Amino acid sequence: DTAVSQTPKYLVTQMGNDKSIKCEQNLGHDTMYWYKQDSKKFLKIMFSYNNKELIINETVPNRFSPKSPDKAHLNLHINSLELGDSAVYFCASSRTHYEQYFGPGTRLTVT
Amino acid sequence: QKEVEQNSGPLSVPEGAIASLNCTYSDRVSQSFFWYRQYSGKSPELIMSIYSNGDKEDGRFTAQLNKASQYVSLLIRDSQPSDSATYLCAVNRDRGSTLGRLYFGRGTQLTVWP
């Protein structure tokens, strides 16, 4: 019954490693997003993806790369992880221009 | 200038009172406005959306939008302890685009005491 799901829920890794977070939605939405919530709880857009159109937020390092195999899935791959990448990453989805629904989040800790 | 600003709080109200949460935004082309509730350790949960000037009511929640003043608010009537959470104001600025990125304020922490 889950609308937007993410795996894993927790991710602990060392600096320099490469990791991926997966997101799936079963709402039939056509747009998906990645958000980052930092330690001060500020939630910031990273990417939005509508079919083959990808918008990259200018503040996101190119170590972060989203990949969407189909409309229901959006993955986030992170290369060469840094301490500052530690945060909670949320996936969200929506019908174009409408309300966004968030997944449960992935807490990434880089040591 | 921050794109979306909220009073960080904390805002503390007694049970049964009206809680009033405020938000201002900087970009006049903003089209859509949302209120999310986030409990500690959980994901943001959509509670209200508003697209045109005026009031929109849903149960105990009322969202108010004034585009001329670039101001959106959320009123919670008959506040309950279960309403204690952080409330996030979000604005969609992607006019004419299919990509509705949301820009969030830093949230207002609300505590409702019994």
pLDDT, one tens digit for every residue, chain B (114 residues): 568 999 878 999 999 999 999 999 998 888 889 999 999 999 999 999 999 999 999 999 999 999 999 999 999 999 999 999 999 999 987 766 666 788 999 999 999 999
Is the separation of the CB atoms in B92 and A98 below 8 Å? no
Residues 78-107 on A with a CB inside 8 Å of B are 90, 94, 96-105
Residues 6+ apart with CB under 8 A from B38: A41, B44, B45, B85, B86, B87, B88, B107
pLDDT at A1: 64
Is the CB of residue B18 less than 8 Å away from at least one CB of chain A? no
Residues facing A108 on adjacent strands:
A11, A87
Is the separation of the CB atoms in A17 and A81 below 8 Å? yes
How many pairs of residues across A and B have Cβ atoms under 8 Å apart?
62
- Residue A48 confidence (pLDDT) above 60: yes
Q: 3-state class of B108 per DSSP? A: strand
Determine the residue type at B28. Answer: R
Is the separation of the CB atoms in A92 and A101 below 8 Å? yes
Structure confidence at residue A6 as a pLDDT band (50, 70, 90)? very high
First to last CA, chain A: 34
Is the CB of residue A48 less than 8 Å away from at least one CB of chain B? yes
Tell me if the bond preceding A69 is cis, omega within 30° of 0. no
Q: Residue B83: which of B38, B46, B23, B41 has the closest Cα?
A: B38
Q: Which residue of B has its CA nearest to A34?
A: B101
pLDDT at B98: 62
Is the CB of residue B46 less than 8 Å away from at least one CB of chain A? yes
pLDDT at A16: 97
pLDDT at A86: 97
Q: Residue A6: which of A28, A19, A22 has the closest Cα?
A: A22
CA A16 to chain centre: 19
Is the separation of the CB atoms in A74 and A56 below 8 Å? no
Name every chain A residue with its beta carbon within 8 A of the beta carbon of B97: 55
Is the CB of residue B34 less than 8 Å away from at least one CB of chain A? yes
- Residue A109 confidence (pLDDT) above 90: yes
Structure confidence at residue A43 as a pLDDT band (50, 70, 90)? very high
Is the CB of residue B44 less than 8 Å away from at least one CB of chain A? yes
Is the separation of the CB atoms in A77 and A18 below 8 Å? yes
The two three-digit tokens of residue B63, written as one number: 């969202």
- At B83, phi and psi to the nearest 5? -80, -10
Structure confidence at residue A58 as a pLDDT band (50, 70, 90)? confident
- At A83, phi and psi to the nearest 5? -55, -40
